[in-house]
Amino acid sequence: MPAKSAIERRLKRFEDFENDYSPNPNENYTKKWDAKLEEFSNDIEKYYDENRQTDEEKEQKLKILREIEDYLVNQLFVNPINDVNYEVRAVVPFGSSASALGMRGGDLDMIICVHPPMGKKQKGEIKRRTNDILREIFNRIQSGKMLNGRKKKDMEHIKEARVPIITGFIDGVEIDISISMTFLVSEQYLAAKMIDAYEKYDRRFILLAAFVKKWMKSKKTDENEDYYKTVFPNSCCTVLLVVFFMKQYKLLPNLGTRDPGMIDNVSWVKARNGENGSFGIPNQSAKYWRESNYCEVSLGTLFLLFLEYYAYFDFKTNKIIVEKGQLRWKSERDRVNKIYLQDVFGNENMTKSVRQVTMLQKCFRDAMKIVINNEGDKIEEELMEDVLPDVCSYSKSEMRKLRKQGLHFGPKPRKFEK
């Protein structure tokens, strides 16, 4: 079904307009909702334009990254580390700051890709070697031999984490340094390039994803942070949910289907030299697809449709295959996961930590009511004020009520574990 028809059909499910925002009573639902949510759409775009990462910020981060790479190649890895000779294949940024989703004041996630490579099943040895490398890097930073002349603050080597990292601030920029020992180019790097590729096909993707991330983060407070992580997916998964949603309306293509060799063409040399932004997809190719598949629908209407799609989504029986834009039935083994969002570059579930699906969907439904029932210029403010409750502070009777409503699953929050 064409995007225009699918969107129109979906919007008919919402209650009829009490006030007609269009002078033409025969105008379709999409245009009516676009008119009603015009100011909200402007707010979504304004948020991105006013808060996106500046070119100066990006360049500052890349200078830090390049200085780290230069030191590693010419100073640190010239000698074995714990009797292992390593070769730096690339030092690359990943995450939001490495893509069009980078926002002002955001951190710098970087991954040091080294060989010899190791298979995923060698988890224990990978973690040991990772900590060996990070320990050397951390000691060099602390001693002033590495990043000399730069202001360093709160540097820490977190070795017991599932994925060990070095974290801290360099010249006011928050950084996370991790290690990759994969045979091919790091999947984290490829994911950042995929975001840029999707932007080529529809800029609304970036604007919508940035606002959805902002909305979800507004639910988190200092008091409910641990509980929040069991309700909402992390930033990476949030973006993937937006990608999948837009694919259901044919607003984004399946990149791997359009160009099966796309990822294979990303060599270590190209990654190291930054040559594969958007996977090198030709502008003309993206323009042709965009013009052939474009559907006129506003950002405000898309946000409402996004909320509606997942508010009533059957997470219990479906697993989400983002890259192919497909749903598949969960196997019995998969059903231990409340949400199954398959990694774009593998079969791993990206949303294992999300357990409170009924609460998540309630938040989506509550947000829908806000969008539907408020004037356009009031919607953003109302959405951001509606925070997630601090369930960890609930009394036992309040917890029982929450369970009775079907809004809490599994063990009691940590504070009740006595």
Domain boundary assignment for the chain: 3-36+188-357, 55-183
Strands 173-180 and 165-170, bridge-based pairing: antiparallel
Q: Provide the pLDDT for residue 351.
A: 93
Mean pLDDT of 93-113: 90
197, 198, 199, 200: CA torsion to nearest 10: 60
Q: Does the fold of domain 55-183 match that of domain 3-36+188-357?
A: no
pLDDT in tens, 392-418: 788 888 888 888 888 887 766 665 443
- Cα(240)–Cα(48) distance, integer angstroms: 18
- Cα(171)–Cα(263) distance, integer angstroms: 34
| Highest mean pLDDT: which range of 20-24, 62-66, 256-260, 344-348 | 62-66
Copy the structure tokens of residue 150: 């730069």
Q: Got the DSSP string for 26-94? A: T--HHHHHHHHTHHHHHHHHHHHHHHBPPHHHHHHHHHHHHHHHHHIIIIITTS-BTTB--EEEEEEEE
Q: Provide the pLDDT for residue 137.
A: 97
- Cα(370)–Cα(377) distance, integer angstroms: 12
Q: Provide the pLDDT for residue 71.
A: 97
pLDDT in tens, 41-50: 999 999 999 9
Q: Provide the pLDDT for residue 412.
A: 63
Q: Provide the pLDDT for residue 414.
A: 61
- Cα(159)–Cα(157) distance, integer angstroms: 6
Residue 147 has pLDDT above 90, yes or no: yes
Residue 17 has pLDDT above 90, yes or no: no
Q: Provide the pLDDT for residue 275.
A: 55
* pLDDT class of 274 with cuts at 50, 70, 90: low
* pLDDT class of 24 with cuts at 50, 70, 90: low
* Residue whose C-alpha is closest to residue 48's, from 261, 207, 286, 224: 207
* Residue whose C-alpha is closest to residue 335's, from 352, 322, 323: 352
| Topology adopted by domain 3-36+188-357 | Poly(a)-polymerase, middle domain (1.10.1410)
Break the chain down into helix, strand, coil percent, rounded to 5.
Answer: 50, 10, 35
Q: Provide the pLDDT for residue 270.
A: 65
- Cα(182)–Cα(118) distance, integer angstroms: 6
- Cα(286)–Cα(181) distance, integer angstroms: 33
Residue 267 has pLDDT above 80, yes or no: no
Q: Provide the pLDDT for residue 291.
A: 86
pTM: 0.89
Percentage of the residues of the chain whose pLDDT score is greater than 70: 89
Query: Chain-centre distance of CA 1, in angstroms?
Result: 28
What distances in angstroms separate CA 59 from CA 47, 73, 141, 173, 199, one per listed residue? 22, 21, 21, 12, 21
More confident residue, 273 or 119: 119
SS3 193: helix
More confident residue, 65 or 187: 65
- Cα(10)–Cα(218) distance, integer angstroms: 27
* pLDDT class of 21 with cuts at 50, 70, 90: low
Q: How many CA atoms lie within 13 A of 317 on its CB side?
A: 2
For the domain 55-183, what is the CATH code? 3.30.460.10
- Cα(197)–Cα(257) distance, integer angstroms: 14
* pLDDT class of 336 with cuts at 50, 70, 90: confident
Residue 292 has pLDDT above 90, yes or no: no
* pLDDT class of 271 with cuts at 50, 70, 90: low
Instruction: State which H helix or E strand residue 112 sits in.
Output: strand 108-115
Copy the structure tokens of residue 357: 């699906």
Mean pLDDT of 282-293: 84
Q: Provide the pLDDT for residue 417.
A: 43
Residue 18 has pLDDT above 50, yes or no: no
More confident residue, 3 or 204: 204
* Residue whose C-alpha is closest to residue 360's, from 215, 209, 207: 215
Give the other-Cβ count within 10 Å of 170's Cβ: 22
Q: Provide the pLDDT for residue 258.
A: 65
Q: Please identify which residue in the block is written with the tokens 């020992």.
A: 181
Residue 63 has pLDDT above 60, yes or no: yes
Asked if 131 contacts 144 with a C-beta cutoff of 8 angstroms, the reply is no
pLDDT in tens, 237-255: 999 999 999 999 999 998 8
Residue-averaged pLDDT of the chain: 88
CA angle 317, 320, 322 (to 5 degrees): 170
Asked if 206 contacts 48 with a C-beta cutoff of 8 angstroms, the reply is yes
- Cα(304)–Cα(382) distance, integer angstroms: 14
